[in-house]
A and B are shown apart, each in its own frame.
With several copies, the nearest count.
Chain A
Amino acid sequence: MYTEKVMDHFSNPRNVGEIENANGVGEVGNASCGDIMKIFLKVEDNIIKDVKFKTFGCGAAIATSSMVTELAIGKTLEEALVLTNQAVAEALDGLPPAKMHCSNLAADALHEAIKDYQAKNS
Protein backbone atom coordinates (compact mmCIF):
# COMPACT_ATOMS: atom_id res chain seq x y z
CA MET A 1 0.00 0.00 0.00
CA TYR A 2 2.80 2.45 0.90
CA THR A 3 5.91 3.11 -1.20
CA GLU A 4 9.34 2.19 0.10
CA LYS A 5 10.09 5.84 0.74
CA VAL A 6 6.96 6.26 2.83
CA MET A 7 7.86 3.18 4.85
CA ASP A 8 11.40 4.47 5.28
CA HIS A 9 10.25 7.86 6.56
CA PHE A 10 7.59 6.24 8.68
CA SER A 11 9.85 3.70 10.34
CA ASN A 12 12.86 6.06 10.67
CA PRO A 13 11.27 9.45 10.85
CA ARG A 14 13.72 12.38 10.59
CA ASN A 15 13.61 15.35 12.93
CA VAL A 16 11.12 14.09 15.48
CA GLY A 17 10.65 16.20 18.57
CA GLU A 18 10.29 19.77 19.69
CA ILE A 19 12.63 22.75 19.49
CA GLU A 20 13.13 24.24 22.96
CA ASN A 21 12.81 27.89 22.01
CA ALA A 22 11.28 27.62 18.58
CA ASN A 23 10.60 30.96 16.95
CA GLY A 24 7.72 29.56 14.88
CA VAL A 25 5.16 26.84 15.69
CA GLY A 26 2.35 25.59 13.46
CA GLU A 27 -0.35 23.04 14.07
CA VAL A 28 -2.95 21.60 11.68
CA GLY A 29 -5.55 18.87 11.75
CA ASN A 30 -7.76 17.68 14.54
CA ALA A 31 -8.35 14.46 16.39
CA SER A 32 -11.70 13.81 14.79
CA CYS A 33 -10.09 13.16 11.41
CA GLY A 34 -7.24 11.29 12.97
CA ASP A 35 -4.43 13.66 12.12
CA ILE A 36 -2.65 16.26 14.24
CA MET A 37 0.66 17.70 13.03
CA LYS A 38 2.81 20.16 14.86
CA ILE A 39 5.89 21.79 13.31
CA PHE A 40 8.59 23.69 15.24
CA LEU A 41 10.98 26.10 13.47
CA LYS A 42 14.27 27.73 14.18
CA VAL A 43 14.65 30.58 11.69
CA GLU A 44 17.80 32.67 11.36
CA ASP A 45 18.40 35.33 8.69
CA ASN A 46 15.27 34.29 6.83
CA ILE A 47 16.62 30.74 6.58
CA ILE A 48 15.16 27.64 8.20
CA LYS A 49 18.06 26.39 10.32
CA ASP A 50 16.17 23.64 12.10
CA VAL A 51 12.74 21.98 11.95
CA LYS A 52 11.18 19.37 14.17
CA PHE A 53 7.76 17.73 14.19
CA LYS A 54 5.33 15.85 16.34
CA THR A 55 2.49 13.97 14.72
CA PHE A 56 -0.51 11.95 15.78
CA GLY A 57 -1.63 10.03 12.72
CA CYS A 58 -1.27 7.14 10.37
CA GLY A 59 1.77 5.97 8.46
CA ALA A 60 1.21 8.58 5.77
CA ALA A 61 0.84 11.37 8.31
CA ILE A 62 4.13 10.50 9.99
CA ALA A 63 5.99 10.02 6.71
CA THR A 64 4.80 13.31 5.23
CA SER A 65 5.78 15.11 8.44
CA SER A 66 9.23 13.63 8.29
CA MET A 67 9.63 14.42 4.61
CA VAL A 68 8.53 18.03 4.96
CA THR A 69 11.18 18.64 7.61
CA GLU A 70 13.86 17.30 5.26
CA LEU A 71 12.61 19.43 2.41
CA ALA A 72 12.39 22.59 4.52
CA ILE A 73 15.77 22.59 6.22
CA GLY A 74 18.11 25.14 4.71
CA LYS A 75 15.42 26.80 2.63
CA THR A 76 14.54 30.49 2.76
CA LEU A 77 11.08 31.28 4.09
CA GLU A 78 9.96 32.24 0.58
CA GLU A 79 11.16 28.92 -0.81
CA ALA A 80 9.48 27.02 2.01
CA LEU A 81 6.21 28.85 1.52
CA VAL A 82 5.87 27.55 -2.04
CA LEU A 83 6.40 23.95 -0.96
CA THR A 84 3.08 22.13 -1.52
CA ASN A 85 1.47 19.06 -0.02
CA GLN A 86 1.60 17.63 -3.53
CA ALA A 87 5.37 18.12 -3.65
CA VAL A 88 5.74 16.36 -0.31
CA ALA A 89 3.71 13.41 -1.58
CA GLU A 90 5.79 13.31 -4.75
CA ALA A 91 9.02 13.34 -2.77
CA LEU A 92 7.70 10.17 -1.10
CA ASP A 93 6.99 8.59 -4.51
CA GLY A 94 3.29 9.07 -3.97
CA LEU A 95 0.63 8.18 -1.40
CA PRO A 96 -2.37 5.85 -1.66
CA PRO A 97 -5.35 7.79 -3.07
CA ALA A 98 -7.35 7.42 0.17
CA LYS A 99 -4.54 9.18 2.04
CA MET A 100 -4.07 12.10 -0.31
CA HIS A 101 -6.67 14.32 1.29
CA CYS A 102 -6.68 13.12 4.87
CA SER A 103 -3.02 12.83 5.79
CA ASN A 104 -1.25 15.04 3.34
CA LEU A 105 -1.13 18.17 5.51
CA ALA A 106 2.52 18.50 6.39
CA ALA A 107 3.22 21.46 4.09
CA ASP A 108 0.21 23.22 5.62
CA ALA A 109 1.71 22.72 9.08
CA LEU A 110 5.03 24.14 7.85
CA HIS A 111 3.28 27.18 6.38
CA GLU A 112 1.44 27.73 9.64
CA ALA A 113 4.73 27.67 11.50
CA ILE A 114 6.26 30.18 9.08
CA LYS A 115 3.26 32.48 9.43
CA ASP A 116 3.59 32.20 13.18
CA TYR A 117 7.25 33.21 12.91
CA GLN A 118 6.40 36.10 10.58
CA ALA A 119 3.62 37.33 12.89
CA LYS A 120 5.96 37.31 15.85
CA ASN A 121 8.73 39.06 13.92
CA SER A 122 6.92 41.83 12.13
Chain B
Amino acid sequence: MKQIYLDNNATTTVKPEVLEAMLPYFREQFGNPSSVHWAGRMVSGAIEKAREQVAQLLNCSSAEVVFVSCGSEGDNFAIKGTAEALRHKGNHIITTTVEHPAVLETCEYLEKNGFEVTYLPVDKDGMLDLADLEAAISDQTILISVMWANNETGNLFPINEIGEIARRHKVRFHTDAVQAIGKVPVDVQAAKVDLLVLSGHKIGAPKGVGALYLRRGTRMTRFMHGGHQERNRRAGTHNVPGIVGLGVACELARLNQEKDYAYVRRLRDKLEQGILSTVPDVKLNGHPNPDLRLPNTLNVSFNFIEGESLLLFFDMKGIAASSGSACTSGSLEPSHVMKAMGVDIVLAHSSVRFSFSADNTEEEVDYILAELPPIVQRLREMSPLYQR
Protein backbone atom coordinates (compact mmCIF):
# COMPACT_ATOMS: atom_id res chain seq x y z
CA MET B 1 0.00 0.00 0.00
CA LYS B 2 1.11 3.50 -0.79
CA GLN B 3 2.06 5.62 2.20
CA ILE B 4 1.89 9.30 1.56
CA TYR B 5 2.76 11.35 4.61
CA LEU B 6 1.32 14.83 4.49
CA ASP B 7 1.25 15.56 8.19
CA ASN B 8 4.67 17.10 8.67
CA ASN B 9 3.32 19.88 10.88
CA ALA B 10 2.34 17.14 13.38
CA THR B 11 5.72 15.47 13.29
CA THR B 12 8.47 14.53 10.85
CA THR B 13 10.58 11.47 10.33
CA VAL B 14 14.11 11.75 11.68
CA LYS B 15 16.52 12.62 8.87
CA PRO B 16 19.09 9.91 8.08
CA GLU B 17 22.03 12.24 8.76
CA VAL B 18 20.47 13.18 12.09
CA LEU B 19 19.98 9.59 13.21
CA GLU B 20 23.47 8.69 12.12
CA ALA B 21 24.95 11.54 14.15
CA MET B 22 22.95 10.47 17.20
CA LEU B 23 23.73 6.78 17.21
CA PRO B 24 27.18 6.88 18.89
CA TYR B 25 25.68 8.74 21.84
CA PHE B 26 23.46 5.92 23.08
CA ARG B 27 26.04 3.28 23.88
CA GLU B 28 29.60 4.35 23.15
CA GLN B 29 29.52 8.00 24.17
CA PHE B 30 26.90 7.61 26.82
CA GLY B 31 28.44 9.75 29.57
CA ASN B 32 26.78 12.49 31.54
CA PRO B 33 28.19 15.76 30.23
CA SER B 34 28.36 17.07 33.79
CA SER B 35 30.94 14.41 34.76
CA VAL B 36 34.65 15.26 34.87
CA HIS B 37 35.95 11.88 33.65
CA TRP B 38 36.48 10.54 30.11
CA ALA B 39 32.87 9.45 29.75
CA GLY B 40 31.65 12.95 30.52
CA ARG B 41 34.28 14.79 28.53
CA MET B 42 33.47 12.74 25.44
CA VAL B 43 30.02 14.24 25.27
CA SER B 44 30.28 17.74 26.67
CA GLY B 45 31.89 18.91 23.44
CA ALA B 46 29.02 17.41 21.47
CA ILE B 47 26.49 19.44 23.45
CA GLU B 48 28.39 22.64 22.81
CA LYS B 49 28.70 21.88 19.11
CA ALA B 50 24.93 21.36 18.89
CA ARG B 51 24.36 24.60 20.75
CA GLU B 52 26.48 26.39 18.17
CA GLN B 53 24.49 24.78 15.34
CA VAL B 54 21.20 25.95 16.84
CA ALA B 55 22.65 29.43 17.40
CA GLN B 56 23.78 29.72 13.80
CA LEU B 57 20.33 28.90 12.48
CA LEU B 58 18.77 31.55 14.71
CA ASN B 59 21.56 34.11 14.34
CA CYS B 60 22.29 34.35 18.04
CA SER B 61 25.14 33.49 20.35
CA SER B 62 25.37 29.92 21.61
CA ALA B 63 25.23 31.13 25.22
CA GLU B 64 21.66 32.23 24.49
CA VAL B 65 20.45 28.72 23.62
CA VAL B 66 18.89 26.55 26.36
CA PHE B 67 18.03 22.95 25.56
CA VAL B 68 14.60 21.72 26.70
CA SER B 69 12.55 18.58 26.17
CA CYS B 70 9.99 19.79 23.63
CA GLY B 71 8.23 22.80 22.22
CA SER B 72 5.61 22.68 24.95
CA GLU B 73 8.25 22.88 27.65
CA GLY B 74 9.84 25.82 25.84
CA ASP B 75 6.54 27.69 25.78
CA ASN B 76 5.74 26.90 29.42
CA PHE B 77 9.22 28.03 30.44
CA ALA B 78 9.15 31.22 28.37
CA ILE B 79 5.76 32.35 29.60
CA LYS B 80 5.71 31.15 33.21
CA GLY B 81 9.38 32.08 33.65
CA THR B 82 8.67 35.62 32.46
CA ALA B 83 5.45 35.95 34.42
CA GLU B 84 7.20 35.10 37.68
CA ALA B 85 10.34 37.09 37.01
CA LEU B 86 8.48 40.24 35.99
CA ARG B 87 5.47 40.01 38.26
CA HIS B 88 6.72 42.99 40.26
CA LYS B 89 6.51 45.06 37.07
CA GLY B 90 3.05 44.09 35.98
CA ASN B 91 0.55 41.31 35.50
CA HIS B 92 -0.58 41.71 31.91
CA ILE B 93 0.22 39.42 29.00
CA ILE B 94 -0.80 39.84 25.37
CA THR B 95 -1.18 36.86 23.09
CA THR B 96 -3.49 35.75 20.28
CA THR B 97 -6.54 33.53 20.03
CA VAL B 98 -4.78 31.24 17.55
CA GLU B 99 -1.72 30.15 19.54
CA HIS B 100 -0.87 26.52 20.14
CA PRO B 101 -2.36 25.05 23.35
CA ALA B 102 1.12 25.13 24.90
CA VAL B 103 0.80 28.91 24.92
CA LEU B 104 -2.96 29.23 25.37
CA GLU B 105 -3.32 26.81 28.25
CA THR B 106 -0.30 28.28 29.96
CA CYS B 107 -1.88 31.72 29.72
CA GLU B 108 -5.19 30.39 31.02
CA TYR B 109 -3.35 28.87 33.95
CA LEU B 110 -1.74 32.22 34.68
CA GLU B 111 -5.16 33.89 34.55
CA LYS B 112 -6.16 31.67 37.47
CA ASN B 113 -3.11 32.99 39.29
CA GLY B 114 -3.66 36.70 39.14
CA PHE B 115 -2.50 37.54 35.64
CA GLU B 116 -4.58 39.27 33.01
CA VAL B 117 -4.33 38.08 29.47
CA THR B 118 -5.48 39.79 26.30
CA TYR B 119 -6.19 37.29 23.53
CA LEU B 120 -5.99 39.27 20.29
CA PRO B 121 -8.58 38.32 17.70
CA VAL B 122 -7.75 37.49 14.08
CA ASP B 123 -9.68 38.36 10.95
CA LYS B 124 -11.32 35.88 8.58
CA ASP B 125 -7.94 35.23 6.95
CA GLY B 126 -6.40 34.50 10.32
CA MET B 127 -4.36 37.70 10.49
CA LEU B 128 -3.73 40.08 13.38
CA ASP B 129 -4.34 43.80 13.42
CA LEU B 130 -1.15 45.44 14.66
CA ALA B 131 -3.08 48.51 15.80
CA ASP B 132 -5.09 46.20 18.11
CA LEU B 133 -1.85 44.82 19.44
CA GLU B 134 -0.36 48.22 20.12
CA ALA B 135 -3.58 49.45 21.70
CA ALA B 136 -3.62 46.50 24.08
CA ILE B 137 -0.28 47.44 25.63
CA SER B 138 -0.62 49.02 29.06
CA ASP B 139 1.86 49.91 31.76
CA GLN B 140 1.09 46.51 33.28
CA THR B 141 2.12 44.61 30.15
CA ILE B 142 5.14 42.39 30.74
CA LEU B 143 4.98 40.02 27.78
CA ILE B 144 3.79 39.75 24.20
CA SER B 145 3.61 36.18 22.93
CA VAL B 146 2.79 35.73 19.24
CA MET B 147 3.59 32.64 17.23
CA TRP B 148 5.83 32.97 14.18
CA ALA B 149 3.65 30.68 12.07
CA ASN B 150 0.35 29.05 12.80
CA ASN B 151 0.37 25.26 12.87
CA GLU B 152 -3.10 24.80 11.38
CA THR B 153 -3.26 27.39 8.62
CA GLY B 154 0.43 28.06 8.12
CA ASN B 155 -0.21 31.79 8.42
CA LEU B 156 2.93 33.82 9.00
CA PHE B 157 2.65 36.62 11.51
CA PRO B 158 4.47 39.93 11.06
CA ILE B 159 7.09 39.11 13.64
CA ASN B 160 9.53 41.85 12.69
CA GLU B 161 6.84 44.51 13.07
CA ILE B 162 5.67 43.04 16.37
CA GLY B 163 9.28 43.02 17.53
CA GLU B 164 9.49 46.72 16.67
CA ILE B 165 6.36 47.51 18.65
CA ALA B 166 7.47 45.43 21.64
CA ARG B 167 10.89 47.06 21.64
CA ARG B 168 9.40 50.53 21.35
CA HIS B 169 7.16 49.88 24.38
CA LYS B 170 9.94 48.05 26.24
CA VAL B 171 7.83 44.92 26.54
CA ARG B 172 9.42 41.49 26.38
CA PHE B 173 8.55 39.52 23.23
CA HIS B 174 8.25 35.74 22.98
CA THR B 175 7.51 33.83 19.80
CA ASP B 176 6.57 30.19 19.41
CA ALA B 177 8.53 29.42 16.24
CA VAL B 178 7.95 25.67 16.36
CA GLN B 179 6.31 25.67 12.92
CA ALA B 180 8.47 28.35 11.32
CA ILE B 181 11.88 26.81 11.91
CA GLY B 182 13.33 25.14 8.84
CA LYS B 183 10.47 26.36 6.67
CA VAL B 184 11.12 30.10 6.55
CA PRO B 185 14.18 32.12 7.62
CA VAL B 186 14.19 32.91 11.33
CA ASP B 187 16.55 35.58 12.60
CA VAL B 188 16.18 36.62 16.22
CA GLN B 189 18.13 39.83 15.70
CA ALA B 190 16.07 41.07 12.76
CA ALA B 191 12.90 40.04 14.55
CA LYS B 192 13.91 41.63 17.86
CA VAL B 193 12.51 38.72 19.82
CA ASP B 194 13.64 38.08 23.39
CA LEU B 195 12.44 34.50 23.66
CA LEU B 196 11.89 31.96 20.89
CA VAL B 197 10.92 28.30 21.07
CA LEU B 198 11.64 25.50 18.63
CA SER B 199 11.01 21.77 18.72
CA GLY B 200 13.20 19.03 17.24
CA HIS B 201 10.58 16.64 15.89
CA LYS B 202 9.14 19.21 13.51
CA ILE B 203 12.44 19.56 11.64
CA GLY B 204 13.78 16.04 11.27
CA ALA B 205 15.30 15.74 14.74
CA PRO B 206 13.81 13.24 17.18
CA LYS B 207 10.92 13.76 19.55
CA GLY B 208 11.87 14.72 23.09
CA VAL B 209 14.15 17.67 22.45
CA GLY B 210 13.72 21.38 21.77
CA ALA B 211 15.41 24.67 22.46
CA LEU B 212 14.64 28.04 23.93
CA TYR B 213 16.42 31.12 22.69
CA LEU B 214 16.88 33.40 25.68
CA ARG B 215 18.25 36.80 24.77
CA ARG B 216 21.28 37.70 26.87
CA GLY B 217 20.23 39.55 30.00
CA THR B 218 16.62 38.29 29.97
CA ARG B 219 15.70 37.62 33.60
CA MET B 220 13.73 34.41 34.03
CA THR B 221 12.48 32.30 36.90
CA ARG B 222 13.45 28.68 36.35
CA PHE B 223 10.74 26.32 35.19
CA MET B 224 12.61 23.08 35.85
CA HIS B 225 14.26 23.30 39.27
CA GLY B 226 17.14 21.05 40.28
CA GLY B 227 20.73 20.60 39.12
CA HIS B 228 22.98 23.24 37.62
CA GLN B 229 22.73 22.14 34.00
CA GLU B 230 22.44 24.71 31.23
CA ARG B 231 24.12 27.39 33.35
CA ASN B 232 21.49 27.02 36.01
CA ARG B 233 18.69 27.75 33.59
CA ARG B 234 17.22 24.25 33.12
CA ALA B 235 17.74 21.26 35.41
CA GLY B 236 17.84 17.63 34.31
CA THR B 237 20.49 15.41 32.77
CA HIS B 238 21.07 16.44 29.15
CA ASN B 239 19.36 14.36 26.49
CA VAL B 240 22.66 13.98 24.68
CA PRO B 241 21.59 12.03 21.56
CA GLY B 242 18.52 14.23 21.17
CA ILE B 243 20.56 17.41 21.50
CA VAL B 244 23.14 16.16 19.01
CA GLY B 245 20.29 15.33 16.62
CA LEU B 246 18.73 18.74 17.08
CA GLY B 247 22.05 20.39 16.28
CA VAL B 248 22.45 18.46 13.04
CA ALA B 249 18.82 19.11 12.05
CA CYS B 250 19.36 22.84 12.58
CA GLU B 251 22.48 22.76 10.48
CA LEU B 252 20.64 20.92 7.69
CA ALA B 253 17.79 23.43 7.96
CA ARG B 254 20.22 26.31 7.60
CA LEU B 255 21.86 24.78 4.54
CA ASN B 256 18.71 23.58 2.82
CA GLN B 257 15.85 25.81 3.80
CA GLU B 258 15.99 28.02 0.74
CA LYS B 259 15.99 25.06 -1.63
CA ASP B 260 13.38 23.22 0.42
CA TYR B 261 11.20 26.30 0.52
CA ALA B 262 10.97 26.43 -3.25
CA TYR B 263 10.44 22.69 -3.53
CA VAL B 264 7.65 22.20 -1.00
CA ARG B 265 6.06 25.44 -2.09
CA ARG B 266 5.73 24.10 -5.62
CA LEU B 267 4.13 20.87 -4.40
CA ARG B 268 1.83 22.67 -2.00
CA ASP B 269 0.74 25.19 -4.64
CA LYS B 270 0.01 22.38 -7.06
CA LEU B 271 -2.15 20.57 -4.53
CA GLU B 272 -3.84 23.80 -3.52
CA GLN B 273 -4.69 24.82 -7.06
CA GLY B 274 -5.66 21.27 -7.97
CA ILE B 275 -8.13 20.96 -5.12
CA LEU B 276 -9.57 24.43 -5.50
CA SER B 277 -10.09 23.96 -9.22
CA THR B 278 -11.48 20.41 -9.24
CA VAL B 279 -13.46 19.96 -6.02
CA PRO B 280 -16.58 22.09 -5.61
CA ASP B 281 -17.58 23.64 -2.30
CA VAL B 282 -14.15 23.84 -0.78
CA LYS B 283 -12.82 26.76 1.18
CA LEU B 284 -9.21 27.68 1.74
CA ASN B 285 -8.45 28.38 5.40
CA GLY B 286 -5.72 30.88 6.15
CA HIS B 287 -4.40 33.80 4.20
CA PRO B 288 -5.33 33.73 0.51
CA ASN B 289 -1.90 35.09 -0.41
CA PRO B 290 0.35 32.03 -0.35
CA ASP B 291 3.38 34.23 0.41
CA LEU B 292 1.83 34.92 3.79
CA ARG B 293 1.69 31.24 4.68
CA LEU B 294 4.31 28.61 5.37
CA PRO B 295 5.34 27.11 2.03
CA ASN B 296 4.39 23.60 3.14
CA THR B 297 0.92 24.06 4.61
CA LEU B 298 -2.49 23.84 3.00
CA ASN B 299 -5.69 23.91 5.02
CA VAL B 300 -9.00 23.45 3.22
CA SER B 301 -12.54 22.75 4.34
CA PHE B 302 -14.53 20.23 2.35
CA ASN B 303 -18.01 21.49 3.04
CA PHE B 304 -20.70 19.08 4.30
CA ILE B 305 -18.21 16.45 5.47
CA GLU B 306 -16.88 15.90 8.97
CA GLY B 307 -13.08 15.95 9.07
CA GLU B 308 -12.43 12.67 10.85
CA SER B 309 -14.36 10.63 8.34
CA LEU B 310 -12.40 12.28 5.54
CA LEU B 311 -9.14 11.43 7.27
CA LEU B 312 -10.19 7.84 7.71
CA PHE B 313 -11.03 7.48 4.02
CA PHE B 314 -7.74 9.18 3.11
CA ASP B 315 -6.00 6.79 5.43
CA MET B 316 -7.48 3.82 3.57
CA LYS B 317 -5.70 5.18 0.52
CA GLY B 318 -2.48 5.60 2.50
CA ILE B 319 -2.75 9.36 2.72
CA ALA B 320 -1.87 10.77 6.16
CA ALA B 321 -3.23 14.25 6.87
CA SER B 322 -4.83 15.89 9.87
CA SER B 323 -7.98 17.80 10.63
CA GLY B 324 -9.30 20.57 12.79
CA SER B 325 -12.28 18.41 13.63
CA ALA B 326 -13.12 18.06 17.28
CA CYS B 327 -13.59 14.36 16.95
CA THR B 328 -10.02 13.56 16.03
CA SER B 329 -8.65 15.15 19.13
CA GLY B 330 -11.16 13.73 21.57
CA SER B 331 -12.29 17.19 22.60
CA LEU B 332 -15.77 18.43 21.85
CA GLU B 333 -14.95 21.73 20.25
CA PRO B 334 -13.60 22.04 16.72
CA SER B 335 -10.32 23.81 16.14
CA HIS B 336 -9.97 27.01 18.14
CA VAL B 337 -8.10 28.46 15.18
CA MET B 338 -11.04 27.98 12.81
CA LYS B 339 -13.33 29.40 15.45
CA ALA B 340 -11.12 32.45 15.93
CA MET B 341 -11.22 33.07 12.18
CA GLY B 342 -14.99 33.01 12.32
CA VAL B 343 -15.19 29.95 10.09
CA ASP B 344 -18.71 28.57 10.01
CA ILE B 345 -19.07 25.63 12.37
CA VAL B 346 -19.71 23.02 9.69
CA LEU B 347 -16.75 24.24 7.68
CA ALA B 348 -14.60 24.20 10.79
CA HIS B 349 -15.49 20.57 11.37
CA SER B 350 -14.68 19.76 7.77
CA SER B 351 -11.21 21.29 7.61
CA VAL B 352 -8.21 19.20 6.61
CA ARG B 353 -4.56 20.14 6.82
CA PHE B 354 -1.96 18.85 4.38
CA SER B 355 1.60 19.63 5.43
CA PHE B 356 4.56 18.79 3.20
CA SER B 357 8.22 18.05 3.73
CA ALA B 358 11.03 17.88 1.21
CA ASP B 359 10.53 14.09 1.17
CA ASN B 360 7.21 14.43 -0.65
CA THR B 361 7.03 14.13 -4.44
CA GLU B 362 5.02 15.45 -7.31
CA GLU B 363 3.69 11.94 -7.99
CA GLU B 364 2.20 11.94 -4.52
CA VAL B 365 0.37 15.15 -5.28
CA ASP B 366 -0.95 13.64 -8.50
CA TYR B 367 -2.10 10.58 -6.59
CA ILE B 368 -3.98 12.67 -4.05
CA LEU B 369 -5.57 14.81 -6.73
CA ALA B 370 -6.82 11.61 -8.33
CA GLU B 371 -8.04 9.90 -5.17
CA LEU B 372 -9.54 12.86 -3.38
CA PRO B 373 -12.54 13.87 -5.50
CA PRO B 374 -14.33 10.49 -5.40
CA ILE B 375 -13.81 10.25 -1.61
CA VAL B 376 -15.26 13.69 -1.12
CA GLN B 377 -18.12 12.87 -3.41
CA ARG B 378 -18.87 9.62 -1.64
CA LEU B 379 -18.91 11.21 1.80
CA ARG B 380 -21.01 14.09 0.62
CA GLU B 381 -23.58 11.68 -0.64
CA MET B 382 -23.85 10.34 2.87
CA SER B 383 -24.27 13.81 4.31
CA PRO B 384 -27.68 15.22 5.22
CA LEU B 385 -26.23 18.70 4.72
CA TYR B 386 -25.39 18.14 1.11
CA GLN B 387 -27.86 18.93 -1.68
CA ARG B 388 -26.68 18.25 -5.15
Contacts and interface: CB of A to CB of B under 8 A. Distances in A.
Interface of A: 1, 7, 10-11, 13, 16-17, 27, 31-38, 53-62, 98-99, 102-103
Most central of B36, B326, B334, B382 by chain A CB within 10 Å: B382
A31 B349 contact: yes
Contact of A1 (B41, B346, B385): B41
A33 B326 contact: yes
Interface string B305-326: 1111100110010000000011
B327 A36 contact: no
Contacts of A17: 381
B334 to A, nearest CB: 7
A93 B65 CA distance: 27
Given A1-B36, A36-B384, A54-B383, A102 B312 contact: no
A31 B382 contact: no
A13 B170 CA distance: 54
Contacts of B330: 98
4 smallest beta-carbon distances between A and B, as pairs: A58-B327, A58-B308, A98-B330, A54-B384
A39 to B, nearest CB: 10
B345 interface: yes
Contact of B381 (A16, A31, A58): A16
B327 A31 contact: no
Contacts of B308: 58-59
A34 to B, nearest CB: 5
Given A38-B384, A56-B384, A58-B325, A32 B309 contact: no
Given A56-B305, A62-B309, A99 B349 contact: no
Interface residues of B, number: 27
B326 A54 contact: no
Interface in B234-249: none
B312 A56 contact: no
B41 A36 contact: no
B131 interface: no
B36 to A, nearest CB: 7
B332 interface: yes
Contacts of A57: 306, 309, 327
B304 interface: yes
Contact of A61 (B41, B306, B313, B346): B306
Given A36-B385, A37-B384, A58-B306, 6 more contacts: A1-B36, A11-B313, A31-B346, A36-B384, A55-B382, A59-B309
A102 B313 CA distance: 20
Nearest to B331: A98
A37 B383 CA distance: 9
Contact of B309 (A31, A53, A58, A98): A58
B328 interface: yes
B384 A27 contact: yes
A112 B308 CA distance: 26
Contact of A34 (B44, B327, B381, B383): B327
Contacts of A10: 309, 312
B186 to A, nearest CB: 30
B345 A31 contact: yes
Given A34-B327, A34-B334, A103-B327, A56 B316 contact: no
Contacts of A31: 345-346, 349, 385
Nearest to A39: B384
A69 B357 CA distance: 43
Nearest to B36: A1
Nearest to B306: A57
A105 to B, nearest CB: 13
Interface in B361-388: 381-385
Contacts of B325: 34, 58
Contacts of B313: 11
Residue of A34, A99, A103 with most chain B CB atoms under a 10 A cut-off: A34
A69 B306 CA distance: 20
13 contacts: A11-B312, A11-B313, A31-B345, A34-B325, A34-B334, A54-B382, A55-B383, A55-B384, A56-B346, A57-B306, A61-B306, A61-B327, A99-B327
